Amino acid sequence: MGSNKGIVAELARDHRRVQNLLDQVRAAAPGSEERAEVVERVITRLVRHLTMEREYLHPLLHQYVVDGDCWTGRLLARDREIEQTLSSLKAVPPHGEECVRHLLTLSEQVARHVVDLEELVFPRLQAMSPATALRDADGKGQPDSTDPARLTASVRGPWDRLRDWVGRCGRP
């Protein structure tokens, strides 16, 4: 990777990927098949991203940041909001007005998530944890190369249903 930021840099890159996908949703014609496909990719990316944070970032916060438990609680609360929106999004037809409303909510939630992590959490973590801990956590959480079933195995409840739904997409 070439930097000592490791997992922080990987999560920040993944934030850009999610934001790029949300931009693609906005650029796609409402009601188009392209928009429906990009929405599915957004859901998949977010499930992987939030799971990666829970598995790799949260333990680092607990271990190295003085108020890490507080930050983890705040992040988990925001994750639950995103999770509820994703569940609502998958429950509505991709071509309807409700889908647009859920996408707007999701965009706002993702923006808050990115600000919380990149402006508040990541600087604390980088200041308080050894560079080797951040670097060593990188590679474990590569969202593009990691098996999504293994990534989501530790998440229970709605995440399981969402993972199953995403896994069925494109199958007859």
Whether residue 143 contacts residue 40, with contact meaning beta carbons closer than 8 Å, is answered with no
Structural domain including 130 reads 7-140
User: Residue 47 belongs to a domain with what CATH number?
Assistant: 1.20.120
Task: Tell me the whole-structure pTM to 2 decimals.
Answer: 0.75
Q: Does residue 168 belong to any structural domain of this protein?
A: no
Q: Does residue 136 belong to any structural domain of this protein?
A: yes
pLDDT at 112: 96
What is the chain's mean pLDDT, rounded?
A: 81
CA distances from 106 to 80, 84, 125, 136, 154 (A): 12, 10, 26, 31, 23
Q: Does residue 150 belong to any structural domain of this protein?
A: no
Helix (H) or strand (E) holding 19: helix 7-27
Query: What pLDDT, in 10s, does the model give residues 111-156?
Result: 999 999 999 999 999 999 888 888 877 544 444 444 444 444 444 4
Q: What values do phi and psi take at 145, rounded to 5?
A: -110, 0
